Amino acid sequence: MKWQSLLIIFLLSCMLPARAFDAQIEMVNFDPQDQSKIFKAIKAIKKVMASDEFKKRIIEHTFQGEKKFLDNKGHTNEEVFQKILEGSEELYPVKNGQMDIELELIESESKTVGYTYPDTKRIWINRIFFDSFHTADIANNLFHEWLHKLGYDHASDYSVERNSSVPYAIGSIMGELARVYDDKND
Ligand SMILES: [Zn+2]
């Protein structure tokens, strides 16, 4: 192949748009109505991921006067954003730009909205909350739990500071913007 052809291929590949963020979700104990709530939340998450605003809010996030998150694993805001774009879960470390998760809906009297463990792909969601949640709340919760899958954690006890941890802070940003984009486009 002539070098000119290689150059053209290289230039064309630079012009291709970046692949949109995606989600691969398995659901256990979800009836069709529950599933459609998840699909709507995923659609909202994709819209937010494609927005400049989401990136900006993450890059400019401050904690105690500094541009950073609490419990950031030593990552800068830019690095946290990059981790999100890559979508490389600790248990499935492939940079595929995708949320790879399993969800199980459970009936529980506990006050926990959702939880997961480091050794599983699965995220358990409490139906008590899920039933009353709107799309933006579900987007917030899914993103929060998925950030755990990327390796970010937070204190188990409530504190104001905890709201600045990667899962809480970015889950909230996701929920807030999901509400805006969801209202705007559907
Ligand atoms: Zn959490």
Measure the CA–CA gap between 160 and 7, rounded to whole angstroms.
53
- Please enumerate in sequence order all residues whose Cβ is within 8 A of that of 51, keeping only pairs 6 or more positions apart, or say none: 177, 181
Name the one residue in this structure whose structure tokens are 């590949």.
13
Predicted TM-score of the model (pTM):
0.88
pLDDT band (50, 70, 90) for residue 185:
low
**Domain-by-domain residue ranges, the chain?**
21-185
Query: How far, in Å, from the CA of 160 to the mean position of ligand 1?
Result: 14
Query: How far, in Å, from the CA of 172 to the mean position of ligand 1?
Result: 12
Query: How far, in Å, from the CA of 125 to the mean position of ligand 1?
Result: 12
CATH fold label, 21-185 = Collagenase (Catalytic Domain) (3.40.390)
What tokens were used for 134? Answer: 């709107």
- Kindly report the number of other CB atoms within 10 A of residue 108's CB atom: 14
Q: 168: helix, coil or strand?
A: helix
What tokens were used for 45? Answer: 């998450």
Query: How far, in Å, from the CA of 115 to the mean position of ligand 1?
Result: 7
Name the one residue in this structure whose structure tokens are 């490389």.
88
Please determine, for residue 156, whether its predicted confidence score (pLDDT) is greater than 60.
Answer: yes
Across residues 104-130, what is the average pLDDT?
A: 93
Q: 178: helix, coil or strand?
A: helix
Measure the CA–CA gap between 144 and 178, rounded to whole angstroms.
13
3-state secondary structure 24-88: EEEEECCCHHHHHHHHHHHHHHHHHHCCHHHHHHHHCCCECCECCCECCCCCCHHHHHHHHHHCC
Q: What share of the chain has pLDDT > 70, as a percent?
A: 89
Query: How far, in Å, from the CA of 81 to the mean position of ligand 1?
Result: 18
Please determine, for residue 2, whether its predicted confidence score (pLDDT) is greater than 80.
Answer: no
Query: How far, in Å, from the CA of 130 to the mean position of ligand 1?
Result: 16
Length of the chain (residues): 186
Average pLDDT, the chain: 92
Q: What is the distance, to the nearest Å, from the Cα of residue 118 to the centroid of all Cα atoms in its chain?
A: 16
Name the one residue in this structure whose structure tokens are 């979800």.
30
Query: How far, in Å, from the CA of 14 to the mean position of ligand 1?
Result: 38
Q: What is the pLDDT of residue 183?
A: 67
Query: How far, in Å, from the CA of 141 to the mean position of ligand 1?
Result: 9
Measure the CA–CA gap between 87 and 137, rounded to whole angstroms.
21
Query: How far, in Å, from the CA of 153 to the mean position of ligand 1?
Result: 7
Query: DSSP class of residue 62?
Result: -
